[in-house]
Amino acid sequence: MTEHDFSRQENREVSRLVALLRRENTDVVDADHHQREWQRLLLHTEDPKATRAKSLRSWVWYVPATAAILLILGLVRSLAFPTALQVRVAGRPADRLYFTAGQKDPLVVDFSDGSKVTLCAEGLMRVSSLDGRGAGLLLERGRLDLSIARHRKARWHLDAGPYRIQVTGTRFSVVWDPRSRALEVDLEQGGVSVTGPGFATPVALQPGQHLHTRETGRYTISPRLTKHEGRNSLGKPTIMNPTALSASFSPAAQEVARPTVPSLPLQPAYEKAASLAAVAATSQKRKLTCDWAHWVGQGQFEHVVNLATHQGVKATLEECPAAGLVSLADAARYMGNFDLSHRALISLRRRSPSDTGRAAFLLGRLEEARGNYALARDWYAKAQAEPREKVYEAEAAKARARLDKRVDLQMGSDSVPLSK
């Protein structure tokens, strides 16, 4: 829009308004007033203080403004970066951040946020970092019982050898033996996550779980020891003795230490563990764990396979219900352990007549994942032929149609007839 876009009427109205404004300005200033004001300006310009006074006037505002800004910055700083926690030992402020427990008495270290750390006998620990939100602890040797106060912005971590345990409000115990490079974490309450060598991803522990690891890349997760179970024949808690800890890594020692719920080695071939478990199964009747659907849902396939492996594959396949077998088959297939997956599904077909269609369909998927398209097609055909499960019938039909083309291309492949 420009000035020329207005109508004559509008321009006339503007002229009237302007005339009103101008009328106000006529004959207001007489010559005397004009002269007086000039004298005033002259005085103003001749007074060197006038310039300074003006700048001083502005400085009068700068001082409180600067003070206010500094105050706000201080408040923000104190909120964002609160002062570091205070450390007290036996009720007195600690004069150093390196702590050694005596041969018999534990050492209790208190933090000003309400957290409490107990270093058990012969333990060595240092506080590696401290800030307003938490602390970094370094356990050099022995056992540490931690009770970390729950705060919204709490940030605690504990280092033990190559391992790091991230902590939010929780209660747990840690044992570190530098000679055997063995670590135990016993979580009572809250949540921690452990990282270290051999851990592809941080291992999150749930309350009531016990983690046992050493630098070989193997770790075990088992139900947490109760006070009664955790005490050896000498009446000392097993977990408190680092020497006993290193010895407890042998399978035999594990069986002795925890006869009811053994630790679960995750990495070894399942055949070896199966034989161990078979021995254990024959020596005493154990209750098998088969409810793995939630672990599979969380993507912890390795954990499921190792649980099954440890308690005995044979026993698992013979005794677990259908849902457990399906979970195990899924977990094993995702892990690339096709043999175990295959065994679980065959077992499912054999033991549960109502699930034969589902098992056939899953076997088809397994063979398809293996690249045995002809065999997979046969399994899908089998699933289609099952009269009881219509869901898998439809899925199998689609999958079979998909594979028909591939099989034509793979005529020379060594597909195995189902009869075998």
Partner 1 sequence: MKDEDLVREIAKGDKDALRVVWDRYATAVRATLRSTLGGDHTIDDLVQEVFFSFYRSAGRLRDPSALRPYLLGVAVKQAAFELRTRTRRGRWHRLFHWTQSSSGEALKSMPDVDERDALQVLNRLLGTLPERERNAFILRYVQDLSPTEVSQALGLSHSTAKRAIAEGKKRVLARARKEPALASYLRTSVQGGP
308 contacts: CB under 8 Å, gap ≥ 6:
270, 292, 316, 328, 340
Please state the closest distance from residue 73 (CB atom) to partner 1, in A.
Answer: 25
Binding status of residue 55 toward partner 1 by CB under 8 A: no
Binding status of residue 216 toward partner 1 by CB under 8 A: no
CB distance 159 to 128 below 8 Å: yes
Q: How many residues bind partner 1 (CB under 8 A)?
A: 33
Binding status of residue 86 toward partner 1 by CB under 8 A: no
Please state the closest distance from residue 129 (CB atom) to partner 1, in A.
Answer: 48
Please state the closest distance from residue 79 (CB atom) to partner 1, in A.
Answer: 29
* The one among 32, 45, 272, 291 contacting partner 1 by CB under 8 A: 45
Give the Cα separation of 186 and 173 in Å (integer): 5
Select the span of 10-18, 322-330, 348-356, 359-367 touching partner 1 (CB under 8 A): 10-18
12 vs 236 by CB, closer to partner 1: 12
Amino acid at 121: A
**From residue 198, how far is each of 201, 218, 267, 340 by CA, in Å?**
9, 7, 10, 23
Please state the closest distance from residue 170 (CB atom) to partner 1, in A.
Answer: 51
For strands 203-205 and 192-195, give the pairing.
antiparallel
12 vs 179 by CB, closer to partner 1: 12
Binding status of residue 1 toward partner 1 by CB under 8 A: yes
Please state the closest distance from residue 61 (CB atom) to partner 1, in A.
Answer: 13
- Report DSSP state, residue 112: T
Contact positions with partner 1 (CB under 8 A) in 20-39: 20-25, 28-29, 34, 37-38
- Determine which helix (DSSP H) or strand (DSSP E) holds 332, and give its type and residue range: helix 322-335
Binding status of residue 18 toward partner 1 by CB under 8 A: yes
Q: At what angle do helices 31-46 and 48-80 cross, to 10 degrees?
A: 70
Give the Cα separation of 380 and 375 in Å (integer): 9
CB distance 113 to 149 below 8 Å: yes
Interface residues with partner 1 (CB under 8 A) are 1-3, 5-6, 9-10, 12-18, 20-25, 28-29, 34, 37-38, 40-42, 44-46, 50-51
